[in-house]
Structure 1
């Protein structure tokens, strides 16, 4: 009986490691898709992108901040992108810092 319990515990631990590894891969794939969608829709040439901000499951959104200096004026353009995890669609809007 003790051998069976030990074997079962070892099996569960190995499955837990596999689950977390695939979970990391799934999150990384989701972040890459969100980032690519947001950058593509922004029409920016080479923007800086923030780390993704993940909202709770009830919201189902990932936010990514993008910024880039615009062409000749060299003015900084700031965009926020909200990526919907279920639909795969993104919404983008320009934002300004308060006081600027």
Structure 2
């Protein structure tokens, strides 16, 4: 499901930003920065990360879903799902835990 959402987000992003799109290298550099910031703030050693979900320029945000374990040692480590919302203007990220309905 995440893969379908990210593909749709990428197509939408390309459509919305068509005329003022940056180079692929610029996007890759931004996405690397977003992933590094989000993973660094998550407290996870090796999380799974979704493709970046880019919101419109008026919002100026990029979201990344993270899944992995937090805590140290098998007895204390527990699995969590986090969403990271990165602000393109400030370079800051906010992270919150989320749960799917019914889980």
TM-score, length basis structure 1: 0.73
Pick the aligned partner of 2:95 from 88, 92, 95: 92
**2:81 alignment counterpart:** 78
| Contiguous gaps of at least 5 residues in structure 2 | 1-20
Structure 1 residue 89: Cα displacement: 0.2
Task: Tell me the matched-pair count.
Answer: 80
* Greater gyration radius: 1
**2:34 alignment counterpart:** 34
**1:68 alignment counterpart:** 68
**1:44 alignment counterpart:** 44
| Contiguous gaps of at least 5 residues in structure 1 | 1-19
Distance in 2 of aligned mates of 1:63 and 1:53: 5
Q: CA RMSD in A?
A: 1.7
**1:6 alignment counterpart:** none
Structure 1 residue 28: Cα displacement: 0.4
**2:54 alignment counterpart:** 54
Distance in 2 of aligned mates of 1:92 and 1:35: 12
